[in-house]
Every structure is written in structure tokens, then in C-alpha cells.
């Protein structure tokens, strides 16, 4: 099964890893229930630790979530796609919103209906959706 850019393994389950900077990613390819259970346990052991130390951008793992079932996976990955489109739209309109530097993390805040974008200088700015169209979402800086 393929959802967006993600190839889902034979077992319909994914692991969502959220980091302290607000970003997140997924483990998506599992052959069976024991495969995902072992991976989930191993990843949970890394909570609170710096992970990805062999990369240019290591991060502290904040939380781990197990998502099972085809419908739940599609819903989760489609939401990530919407957030990525919003960030892309934001970057395309940075002259209107005030460019703050390179984006290092982002998070959709459902409770406040806004997008939080964290920049390389450590600042986090809040943007509210002002228009949703075929080209994505247009966000405005909350001042």
C-alpha cells in the first residue's frame, strides 16, 4: 500500500516519532505484528535521548505513537501532507509573512487552529490559516 510518498509494508501499522523541536517522522514498513512490536519497543527505549547522531541534524525523541489500521494510517499521513503543503505555501509567501530564517520544525496545533513554525534561530512563530484552496493553504502571521 502506498500513501503519498510513504510505502506501507504488508502489516498495516506505522510508528510516529515526534521530536522536541515539533517535527515528526514515521517508520512505515513492517512485515507482521511482531516486527512492528519489536520496533516500537526499541524506539520507545530512545525517548528523551538524542537520536540521529549520525546525521547532520540529530534530535531529541519526545514521544512515540503506534498507529494501526489502513484508515487510521491514511488519515495520519494525509494530515502530514496538509501540514507540509502549508509550510511550503508559507515559504513561497515569506516576503509577506516576514522571513525569519530556515524552518527547522513545524507542528499543526488543532486546539488553536494554527500552524507553529520553528526557525533555526530558536524562535517559534504562530500562523493562522486565512485561505484554503487547490494550491494549498495560505497562512498569516499572528501578531
pLDDT tens per residue across span 29-64: 888 889 989 999 999 999 999 998 888 778 899 999
Q: What is the pLDDT of residue 38?
A: 93
Is there a single domain that holds both residue 51 and residue 21? yes
Exposure class string for 29-56: b at 16+ Cβ within 10 A, else e: ebeeeeebeebbeebeeeeeeebeeeee
Q: Look over the chain and give the mean of its residue pLDDT values, rounded to a whole number.
A: 74
Q: How many folded domains does the chain comprise?
A: 2
Give the end of a domain, one of 68, 85, 100: 68
| 45 or 21, higher pLDDT | 45
Three-class SS of residue 6? strand
Residues 91-107: tens digit of each pLDDT: 555 544 555 666 666 67
Distance from C-alpha of 11 to C-alpha of 70, rounded to nearest angstrom: 9
| 71 or 79, higher pLDDT | 71
Is there a single domain that holds both residue 134 and residue 110? yes
Give the end of a domain, one of 24, 47, 68: 68
Is there a single domain that holds both residue 54 and residue 95? no
Residue 102 lies in domain: 77-141
Is there a single domain that holds both residue 56 and residue 99? no
Give the end of a domain, one of 34, 49, 68: 68
Q: What is the mean pLDDT of residues 70-78?
A: 78
| 22 or 6, higher pLDDT | 22
Q: What is the pLDDT of residue 45?
A: 95
Is there a single domain that holds both residue 22 and residue 60? yes
| 48 or 122, higher pLDDT | 48
Supply the pTM of this predicted model. Answer: 0.59
Determine what percent of the chain is predicted with pLDDT higher than 90.
16
Distance from C-alpha of 63 to C-alpha of 18, rounded to nearest angstrom: 5
134 pLDDT higher than 80: no
Is there a single domain that holds both residue 15 and residue 62? yes
20 pLDDT higher than 70: yes
Amino acid at each position: 500500500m502506498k500513501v503519498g510518498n510513504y510505502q506501507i509494508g504488508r502489516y498495516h501499522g506505522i510508528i510516529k516519532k515526534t521530536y522536541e523541536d515539533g517535527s515528526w517522522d514515521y517508520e512505515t514498513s513492517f512485515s507482521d505484528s511482531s516486527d512492528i512490536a519489536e520496533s516500537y519497543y526499541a524506539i520507545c527505549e530512545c525517548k528523551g535521548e538524542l537520536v540521529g547522531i549520525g546525521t547532520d541534524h540529530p534530535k531529541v525523541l519526545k514521544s512515540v505513537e503506534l498507529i494501526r489500521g489502513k484508515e487510521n494510517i491514511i488519515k495520519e499521513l494525509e494530515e502530514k501532507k496538509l501540514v507540509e503543503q502549508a509550510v511550503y505555501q508559507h515559504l513561497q509567501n515569506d516576503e509577506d509573512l516576514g522571513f525569519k530564517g530556515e524552518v527547522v520544525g513545524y507542528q499543526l496545533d488543532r486546539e488553536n487552529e494554527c500552524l507553529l513554525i520553528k526557525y533555526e534561530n530558536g524562535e517559534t512563530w504562530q500562523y493562522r490559516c486565512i485561505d484554503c484552496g487547490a494550491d494549498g493553504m495560505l497562512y498569516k502571521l499572528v501578531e
